[in-house]
Amino acid sequence: MKLIPDPTGRFAQRPFYEPGELDMECEKVMSTFLRSLYGKVEYPVLTDDLTKLIERHVDDFDSYADLATRYGEGVEGVTEFRPGKKPIVRIHEILATDEFRENRLRTTLTHELGHVLFHAWLFDQRSAPSLFPTKPRPDDVQVCKRDTLLNAPQVDWMEWQAGHACGAFLMPGSRVKKVAQEVAARAPPPSLEPLVPDSDYGRALIITLCERFHVSRDAAQVRAHRLGLLSHINLNLTF
């Protein structure tokens, strides 16, 4: 990681992570956590265990929060950074109460965990020491919307990094690449053409990642693209 100027003006400098750095750190965090629970590392990670992991790193966690009333429709998660203290994380209540949204709950949990682990220190550094309590600044709260949880543009660097971490926590790169090798053996990709999602190989890879890691097709597709296993992303893909 290195620090570079933050063109948004939110910070004087912001962290630049190579994707491989995020991959390694997320896999390390998840592996260490799973070994502490079970003495071994197995995927998919249980949704309850994702909750346990995020609770270890925050002061307060609310998975039944009414985020729509305060922040508007489409907000899935919120991380409130508190300089000098652990963050607070809130998840939109509908994700925990609707069994058909469990994959979205899993991506939201790991997305917010990415903010907590990779961004909380920025707010600690920005805060000047004081003997008196200070009011939270409006931009101490990261509001995460459904449309950018997985694949935010890189200019929105906090969301992009948290989205990358989301995929890396749920689908570690080393294991995804092994899955891709298995898939390629039974559905060989074309040698001279891009590895597109809408191909025998692409469809087989996405479906297998969904099954192995308990994620949505969109999450599987974004992760495969970030690891260079698909040439592009087509979030409107149906099969």
- Residue-wise pLDDT tens digits, 94-109: 998 998 999 999 999 9
238 within domain boundaries: no
Please enumerate in sequence order all residues whose Cβ is within 8 A of that of 68, keeping only pairs 6 or more positions apart, or say none: 75, 92
Q: Is the domain of 193 the same as that of 86?
A: no
Mean pLDDT of the chain: 92
Domain region containing 14: 2-170
Q: Is the domain of 152 the same as that of 48?
A: yes
233 within domain boundaries: no
Burial class (CB in 10 A: 0-12, 13-18, 19+), 125: exposed
Tokens of 161: 């990094």
Model pLDDT, residue 132? 38
Q: What is the pTM of this model?
A: 0.93
Average of pLDDT values for 174-181?
A: 96
Model pLDDT, residue 137? 64
DSSP secondary structure letter of residue 137 = P
234 within domain boundaries: no
Cβ distance 113 to 57 under 8 Å? yes
Q: Is the domain of 32 the same as that of 136?
A: yes
Q: Is the domain of 68 the same as that of 159?
A: yes
Q: Is the domain of 132 the same as that of 186?
A: no
Structure confidence by residue, pLDDT tens digits, 38-82? 999 999 999 999 999 999 999 999 999 999 999 999 999 999 999
Tokens of 96: 């925990």
* Distance from C-alpha of 91 to C-alpha of 77, rounded to nearest angstrom: 5
Q: H or E segment at 33?
A: helix 19-38
Average of pLDDT values for 165-181?
A: 97
Residue 108: closest CA among 70, 138, 72, 64: 64
pLDDT(135) > 60:
no
* Distance from C-alpha of 196 to C-alpha of 190, rounded to nearest angstrom: 10
Q: Is the domain of 29 the same as that of 147?
A: yes
Q: Is the domain of 189 the same as that of 98?
A: no
232 within domain boundaries: no
pLDDT(186) > 60:
yes
Q: Is the domain of 177 the same as that of 140?
A: no
Tokens of 65: 């929060």
Cβ distance 194 to 181 under 8 Å? no
128 within domain boundaries: yes
Share of the chain above pLDDT 70, in %: 94
Q: How many domains does one find in the chain?
A: 2
pLDDT(192) > 90:
no
Cβ distance 166 to 219 under 8 Å? yes
Q: Is the domain of 181 the same as that of 138?
A: no
Q: Is the domain of 164 the same as that of 189?
A: no
pLDDT(139) > 90:
no
